[in-house]
Every structure is written in structure tokens, then in C-alpha cells.
Amino acid sequence: MSTNQQVSPEQRRYQALAKKHTPKPPVLRHAVAAFIAGGLVSVVGQFLTNLYARLLHLTPDKAGNPAVATMILIGALLTGFGVYDRLARLAGAGLAVPVTGFANSIVAEALEFKREGLIYGVGGRMFTLAGAVIVYGVVTAFFVGLFKALVK
């Protein structure tokens, strides 16, 4: 976001006044809810990881993959049934930070824009929110990998 605008004294005064009148979010309650929700999602993920390790005879390292895929499925289904947004209203980052939140952002976009068609609606919009995560993950990984390849 650009912040290169001139701020007049009048604007600055009003910004201060508006800040005084703008309520603070309930930080403590939100933090506790996010911690518990984020923790519970991880516990479910751990259970799935252990389950796949046992059923498919995978190393815990490898069992993480189907566990993540399953969590994405769960996130997608909860979004489809219209539950995820309600839960996330309570849990906040507890449901935004885990991969289920990544799935939610993809499915929410795809659902919302399916009425604009399968190509420009579903296909084009699916990564409107999740795209940034992929882009900055890949760009970071690229430079980290490049650094490792050159500096080693």
C-alpha cells in the first residue's frame, strides 16, 4: 500500500480523533480462541499423520503429505457446507493460519464466482486470495535455494 500522500494537519487531527473513537478488538479473547483452535487443528493433523503412518506404513515424514491433503479436504468440505466462515469468526487466525484456511480461501473464491462461469469464475478466481501465499512462498524459496546453491 502506498503511503506517499500528503497528510494535512486537518486530516492528522481527525485521524487521531477517529482512532480514539475506534474500538479495540478483544485481543485477549481472540488470542486465547486462536491458540486453542490452532492447537486443535494441529492435534487433528497429528492424529491423521500417525494414522497414515500406521495404515500405509509410511515414515512420519512421508505421512505428513496425505495428512495435509486430508486437512485440505476437511477445510474444503466445511467451507462448502457454509460452516468454516462461522467457525473462523470465533477462531480467527486459529483457522486462518493452518492449511485448512488455505483450502477455505480457495474454495470460498471458487464457490463465490462459479456463477461467472467455469473458466473466468472458478478457474480464474480460485487463487485470488491463495495466490499471494503461493507467490511469496515460491519467491522466498527460490532465493533461499539459489543462495544455498551458490554459497555452499
What part of residues 18-37 is at the interface with other proteins (CB under 8 A)? Answer: 18, 21-27, 30-31, 33-37
Q: Least separation, in Å, of the C-beta of 6 and other proteins?
A: 10
Q: Least separation, in Å, of the C-beta of 25 and other proteins?
A: 5
Torsion sign over Cα 20, 26, 28, 31: negative
Residues from 107 through 146 that contact other proteins (CB under 8 A): 107-115, 122, 126, 129-130, 132-142, 144-146
Write phi, then psi, for 30 (nearest 5 degrees).
-60, -45
Q: What is the dihedral of CA 115, 117, 120, 122, to 10 degrees?
A: 70
The position carrying cell 470465533 is 90
Q: Least separation, in Å, of the C-beta of 57 and other proteins?
A: 17
Amino acid (1-letter code) at residue 28:
L
Q: Does 45 bind other proteins (CB under 8 A)?
A: yes
Total residues at interface with other proteins (CB under 8 A)? 109
Query: Do 125 and 110 form a contact (C-beta atoms < 8 A)?
Result: yes
Burial (Cβ within 10 Å: 0-12, 13-18, ≥19) of residue 61: exposed
Residue number with CB closer to other proteins (55 or 134):
134
Binding track, positions 69-108, relative to other proteins; x by CB under 8 A: x-xxx--xx-xxxx-xx-xxx-xxxxxxxxxxxxxxxxxx
Q: Does 152 bind other proteins (CB under 8 A)?
A: yes
Amino acid (1-letter code) at residue 51:
L
